[in-house]
Structure 1
Amino acid sequence: MYYDTSTVANSELVEQFLGTIDRYSVSDSSRKDYTDDSQYVQSTSFGRQTPVSCFSIIRKSFEDRQIPKRAVDIMLASWKPSTQKQYSVYIRRWFLFCSKREINTLQVTVNDVLDFLTQLFDSGLSYDTINIARSALSSLGFLLDGFVVGQHPLIKRFLNGVFNLRPSKARYKDVWDVNIVLKYLKNLPDVRLLTLKNLTLKLAMLIALTQASRVQSLKLLTLEGLRQGHNSIVLQYSNSLKQCKPGRRVPYVELKEYFPDKNICVVHTLREYIKRTEPLRKGEHLLFISYLKPYHAVTASTISRWLKTVMHLAGIDINVYKAHSIRGASTSKVSQFVPIKEILSVAGWNNATTFNRFYNRDIQQQRSFSDSLLDSSQ
């Protein structure tokens, strides 16, 4: 079921796999911990281009257990694409580690895994990153003394030590003031006079701010199932979100009209955007489409670039703050006025632990999340 990397020449799958990971240095702590899971790479022994996916190894491990193919397809869907990308990095590193040490992956010991995780620690990786590596190895399914990797007592003890020596830290020591961006948006011409580009960027930023949205969540917003009320618009998501789990329905977004100033009213902006893009969509239901031909639905990275463009134009240093900082900026701004329960609900956090770790402030006044955010610019 598992692959002996000491006999790579006899296993085309592992040979292809190691042809990929030789470009990744396990000692390079400066390399970002993400990569595309499916790439065309040069096979080191056969000298040809071969498509390779780390999750093909997980698939093979399931199939070797005689699990039906259709069931395997469904089981592999349990890992979201973002998780697959994260895991692939460390599955590659694990097989490179085994290859260099001529470790038979049929006979892995807990000491081998501890050695691998120690190497990651010594390369400067954080607790959160090493924890991802532990989960990636668990996904391979091999057992250590009867335990899956992540549940072995010694592995758990090791991760506790990593946390104490190198505890998780917030990416930012402080957050930017949303007033800066809101004032920039307020000073833009009326939405009817904006170019499609500026209208698109304004809408993306207003939703991101008033909903403390992840970029991936913005990408998944769809016009299918849209419901318009007198003072609000309800949007659905086209797929499950990061925080979605079994037993919990996919959430929706309720955007409320902001009467004090329509220049920063997300509903007013959205209505104009829907009107302007309707003749361009040609059957495309996702909310955000390109403002240039051929007007297709955009990727999360494109929306991230839009948000950073607005931040830059407003005067925020995007060399320091990335698009994801919008979540922290908006929730920090309203933490003094909005009940923590609403903040957790809007931002999609399961409990107050994450929020309190970084934004533990007294609640002085109970108001809605979006109104408090927009009022702060007055």
Structure 2
Amino acid sequence: MGSRVLARRSEDSSDSSSLHCPQPEPQSGRSSDGSPPTSGSRNDTGDMESWGWSGSLIGWNEAQLKLLRSAWRPSTRKVYKVAWNRWLYWCQKHDVDPCRPTGSTVARFLADLHLVHKLSYNTVLLHKSVVATLSNVENAGLLSSHILVKNVLKSIALRKPVAPKPPIWNIDSLSSFLQHRKVSKENVFATCSHTATLLLLCSGRRVHDLTLLAVDPDHFTDSNDSIVLWPIFGSKTDNATYRQSGWKLFSTDTKNLDPVYWIRQTVSILDSRRKLAKCNNLFVNIRGQSKAASRTVIAGWVKSVLTEAGILSSAGSLRSAVASKNWDNNYPLDEILARGNWRSSNTFSRFYKREVMPASVSNSNSITRLFNPVK
């Protein structure tokens, strides 16, 4: 992720419960490779965004700070916090002020990430963006464009050129497995895992997008042979001017591959837990406290189905597998982008379009046609 994106978000984002730049104290729990400890650090808090921004946040009232804070998703904080903590401990080791670094200091830090900790080029880029953005909001652009920073990054990129993307598994194999899978509609786990997998297989959307599907009248329309789901705001691409498109799922004669049938089963079987949770989400936890199912929970459901099918990949790999197969099936690029809710063709081409492994069956074209994006 480039610093330009992070820097832009930094103008709109802060959690200023403590308006100071932390000076980390020596931590006995620190690992030998310089990584931050997993516990015991006073810097491992939720107000990461305020570190280094204290001078720019003087005079802000609580309402203003709360508004600023709302621009950061919890998942984003977790990713940035790891990079920020690594920066803090590097500064502690080298007696550097983490909130007012020079371009030379940042360049040395990035070099150590690659030379000492063997981090990849993309991971080093993330650390550069986080440090440039969070250390001093007024100088983020200057640090990112510093000549030493740029040349260190260039050297890291040249040392290890980007490797060819490995081929992706074929969704025809999963489609065939689901078609013949024995699923008890009275089994909550089997129903939820089957439905979640089928929705990702049809749509190619992100696993996180399944957490945004709801069954209240404002977000759910059930017709005879189709269902339209309007996701709640919160997708990775959602902003003030853009919303993720709706999901229109169509029925089919093959029951195990019928998303309409399985959505209805999921709505019904989770109804009591949905009421206990006092939420309208399509997917809710099936164990423990009743609440909306998280991305991690849903990914676990999907992963179990993939493993059962003999596909040793993550739940997130479905996104690349579906898009790559659609490309092989000669879907127009604009249609692939719309179906997967991509804002940039470059993102699809660089990270998701891959060679598809051969399969002994071929029915992916029909399964993906059971989904249409709607505005």
> What displacement does 1:53 show?
3.5
Q: In structure 2, what is the equivalent of residue 14 of structure 1? A: 22
Conservation of the 8 A alpha-carbon contact between 1:222 and 1:285: yes
Q: Does 1:126 align with 2:120?
A: yes
Q: In structure 2, what is the equivalent of residue 96 of structure 1? A: 89
Q: In structure 1, what is the equivalent of residue 7 of structure 2? A: none
Q: In structure 2, what is the equivalent of residue 335 of structure 1? A: 327
Deviations 1:181-208 (A, max 9, x none): 22222123476x4512111110010011
> What displacement does 1:124 show?
1.6
Among 53, 71, 86, the alignment partner of 2:79 is: 86
Q: In structure 2, what is the equivalent of residue 142 of structure 1? A: 136
Q: 1:137 to 1:145 in 2, by over 3 A?
A: closer
Conservation of the 8 A alpha-carbon contact between 1:238 and 1:286: no
Q: 1:78 to 1:293 in 2, by over 3 A?
A: closer
> What displacement does 1:296 show?
2.7
> What displacement does 1:274 show?
1.1
> What displacement does 1:66 show?
3.1
> What displacement does 1:354 show?
3.1
Q: Give the structure with the larger strand fraction.
A: 1
> What displacement does 1:327 show?
1.0
SS at match of 1:227: strand
Larger RCO: Structure 1 or Structure 2 (Cα < 8 Å, ≥ 6 residues apart)?
2
SS at match of 2:215: strand
Q: Which moved more, 1:124-133 or 1:348-357?
A: 348-357
> What displacement does 1:307 show?
0.8
Q: Distance in 1 between matches of 2:171 and 2:145?
A: 42
Conservation of the 8 A alpha-carbon contact between 1:175 and 1:329: yes
Q: In structure 1, what is the equivalent of residue 158 of structure 2? A: 164
> What displacement does 1:249 show?
2.2
> What displacement does 1:25 show?
5.4
Conservation of the 8 A alpha-carbon contact between 1:18 and 1:92: no
SS at match of 1:233: strand
The aligned runs of 1:23-102 (5 Å cut-off) are: 23=30, 41=40, 52-53=45-46, 55=48, 57-58=50-51, 61=54, 64-102=57-95
Q: 1:219 to 1:373 in 2, by over 3 A?
A: same
Deviations 1:110-166 (A, max 9, x none): 111100011111122112211111121122252798844224344334334433333
Conservation of the 8 A alpha-carbon contact between 1:41 and 1:52: no
Conservation of the 8 A alpha-carbon contact between 1:234 and 1:255: yes
Q: In structure 1, what is the equivalent of residue 208 of structure 2? A: 216
Q: 1:63 to 1:109 in 2, by over 3 A?
A: closer
SS at match of 1:14: coil
Q: In structure 2, what is the equivalent of residue 46 of structure 1? A: none
Q: Distance in 2 between matches of 1:332 and 1:12?
A: 47
Q: Distance in 1 between matches of 2:193 and 2:257?
A: 13
Conservation of the 8 A alpha-carbon contact between 1:264 and 1:374: no
Q: In structure 2, what is the equivalent of residue 229 of structure 1? A: 223
Q: Does 1:195 align with 2:187?
A: yes
Unmatched 5+ residue regions in structure 1? 1-10, 44-49, 363-368
Conservation of the 8 A alpha-carbon contact between 2:255 and 2:261: yes
Deviations 1:200-255 (A, max 9, x none): 11001001111112221112222232122343212232331112234212433222
Normalised by the length of structure 1, the TM-score is 0.77
Conservation of the 8 A alpha-carbon contact between 1:307 and 1:323: yes
Residue 14 of structure 1 aligns with an amino acid whose one-letter code is: P
Q: Does 1:350 align with 2:350?
A: no
Stretches of 4+ moved more than 6 A in 1? 143-146
SS at match of 2:96: coil
Q: Distance in 1 between matches of 2:180 and 2:334?
A: 33
Q: Distance in 2 between matches of 1:280 and 1:22?
A: 41
Unmatched 5+ residue regions in structure 2? 1-18, 357-363, 371-375
Conservation of the 8 A alpha-carbon contact between 1:61 and 1:141: no
Conservation of the 8 A alpha-carbon contact between 2:104 and 2:148: no
